[in-house]
Every structure is written in structure tokens, then in C-alpha cells.
Amino acid sequence: MSMDTRRIDPEDVLLLAADTARVVLESGGETYRAEDAAQAVCSALGGAEAECFATPTGIQLSFTGFDGRVHSIVRRVKKRSMNLERLSRVNDLARRLYAGELDFDGAARELDLTERRPGYPLGVSLAAAATGTGFFTLLFGGGWNDALVAAAVGALLSRVTRILARRQISDFFTNIAGGAAAALLCLAAEHLGLAASADTTIIGVIMLLVPGVAITNAIRDTIAGDLVAGVARGADAFMAAAAISIGSGGAFELWRRLFPGTL
């Protein structure tokens, strides 16, 4: 096996390793995991002195091939979303390749399958969004009627943000629109007597957008010594929170002007 791996074109190894790291980052994996995965792929396939530098928005990777030349590649990471099944599959791929349970072709095929793997069907995702937002509203002290409103708005919001993301609308605008829509719908529900407290309902719905995990990961990256990645993730979380509150703050203001005295 060791003889075979040495004959794989270093350029192919480079592409496989960079794509592995890219999928880790696109699926919401930690920075060090992306770097470790790329290095594992390189050294499993005969690359020496593999070094990878990853940030949330890009990857730089280089190693010395069996031909004694240094090969390197730069990859941008454009879309990031949480996909935990994809993350564990790509992690497993790198691990098995490193352990010698997979060869180059197997790993390339596995990566391709992982990337094209369909997620949960639409109905399941909508039900999941409704469950998550509804029960968070209960957890934050809302009543059952608040939870029902939050579930309905949450399902709608998750669908709309997914469509906007697919149309490549920027996260910033998506979050402004999402924050505004969530606030307006919840205020309307309160006004119509469907929900008891718009505030609790809004915070349950907003959990879909809010970067709580992102700010925690930013600090985790910083603690782990990935300073550039940590600062970048912090900026990402900060901008997301700012956009959501610009949206919902604007919606509150609009409501105050349209229906004076109801807030």
C-alpha cells in the first residue's frame, strides 16, 4: 500500500486534501479540525511536511510531494452552514484514510458522495424549525399560545432564510429581513390576541438566526490558538447580531409609527 500511495499525483492529493478541509469548514466544523483533516489526507497519501492554515473564509495548504517539490493551493470558503452529518462523514473519511482503511479513489468517491448527500426532506426541516422555536419560547417563559405562534413564524422564517441563502443573498441582508419579519409577525400576533407576549415569542423565533453558537466558537478558536479564525468568527457573529437587531429594531419602530400607543 505504501508503494501505491507514493505514485499518486501530488496535485490530486492537494485537491482532495483542500476539498476535505473546505467541506469541514462549510459544514460548521472547527478551524483546527479542518487543518488536521487536510494534513491527515496529505500525509496519508505520501505528502511530507504538510502545513495547512485555515480561517472561516479560506484555506491555504502546502506539502512536499514524493517528487521533492513543494505543492500548494488556496481555496476560498464561501458558504457556511451547520451540517453535522456531513461534518462527521468528512471527519470519518480523513480518519479512515489516515488509518489506511481507505485508498485515494475510495476517499475521493466518499467525499463526492458526502457533498452530494441530500439533507432531511422539506417537511421534516419545517417541523424541526417549528419544534425548536416553539419549545424555546416555552423554555424562555412563554405560554402555549406564544409557543404556537413562534412555531408557525419559525417554520416560515426557516423556509424564507433557506430560499434567500440559495439565491445567494448576503447573510447580512437575510438577517435584517429575518429579524424584521419575525418582529412584525409576532407583534401582529400579539395585537390580534394570538400571543400573550410578543417579546418571548420573538426571542424564541430569533433563536433560528441568532449567533450564540458562533460567538462561543469564536472564543473557542481563540483559546485554541487559532487567533485569526477566532477574530474572524467573532466579527461574523457580531455582524449577524447587528443585522438581526437592525431588522427587528426597525420593525418595532415601524409598528410604533403605524399603531401609536400599542407598544
Partner 1 sequence: MNAALGLVWAAVATAGFAVLFELHLREVPLAATGAILGWGVYTLSGGEGGTAVACFAAAAAVGVYAELLAALRRRPAAVYIVCAIIPIVPGGGMYYTMLASVRGDLAKSLELGFRTLQAAGAIAAGLAVSSAIARLISLERLARRLGGRREKPRI
List residues near partner 1 by CB under 8 A.
28-30, 33, 36-37, 40, 82-88, 91-92, 94-95, 98-99, 119-120, 124-125, 127-136, 138-141, 158, 203, 206-208, 210-213, 215-220, 222-224, 237, 241-242, 244-246, 248-250
CA 143 to chain centre: 31
Closer residue to partner 1 (CB): 62 or 222: 222
What is the C-alpha separation between 246 and 260, in angstroms, rounded?
Answer: 20
Q: How far is the CB of 67 from partner 1 (least distance, A)?
A: 26
Residue 138, H or E segment: helix 122-139
Cβ atoms of residues 93 and 114 within 8 Å? yes
- The owner of cell 458562533 is 214
Closer residue to partner 1 (CB): 53 or 238: 238
Closer residue to partner 1 (CB): 78 or 119: 119
Q: How far is the CB of 71 from partner 1 (least distance, A)?
A: 21
Closer residue to partner 1 (CB): 88 or 262: 88
Q: How far is the CB of 32 from partner 1 (least distance, A)?
A: 10
How far lies 106's CA from each of 19, 43, 66, in Å?
15, 16, 21
Cβ atoms of residues 247 and 184 within 8 Å? no
Strand order in the sheet with 70-76: 48-55, 58-64, 70-76
Q: How far is the CB of 69 from partner 1 (least distance, A)?
A: 26
Triad 169, 30, 164: Cα angle to 5°: 15
Cβ neighbours of 64 (radius 10 Å): 17
Closer residue to partner 1 (CB): 75 or 86: 86
Closer residue to partner 1 (CB): 66 or 135: 135
